[in-house]
Structure 1
């Protein structure tokens, strides 16, 4: 397991969703620090601070697609995944209530790692974060992981 000093950046503008996400994360990934950014600017500032202080980048970024507008989430995704970005290797998982096939296809074109429709109840969030833990923390080796 590679939990050592790992954190996860959640870019979510809805405080109710954050409360549920934070609670489920603490239950399923108690050794991982969740960090909230309520908009793209806070996310950029946090990530730049990680670079400036030579701190570990988040192991994964969970990005709400609509922050609250569509363009804000899309713009952040494009910036994170553009060629030459220092964050291009950090997995970005899109979280959205949208099931629009055009949204889904477009985020993959911009470099998203995965697209997940937000669960609608707490037990589904718990199951989601259990799966996330098993895959991203217990199975996958990412750049920067200390083996």
Structure 2
């Protein structure tokens, strides 16, 4: 997922639901920085300990240790993940002991598409947006059609 609290929590909830199906094995790939925060400040270890078909894997995010990784640096976070984590993600997909049968990726990480195509694995983009953002996204076509946007100034 996008290495921010909201998207990570949404993806963890999805992973938890998928874990209920014992025949599905889930590998949750997260950045080292966010994973460490999960370990320090949440009950994620206890929460997922009951699912033997679940495992965490971490990758670097390409940012220096002292980078605060806060919202106004979202562009740097995305660029870092795409530059550093993308090749690692590809290597994991292509060389996994148990070949993946499906990839579920945060919608912002378009680098996953060519990897999924090359590996001939279905790819699902899961957008972890808030209800307000979803409403805006769904309402935009109607707002444009009605001439409400772009705003006239």
Same fold flag (TM > 0.5): no
* More helix per residue: 2
Higher relative contact order (CA 8 A, sep 6+): 1
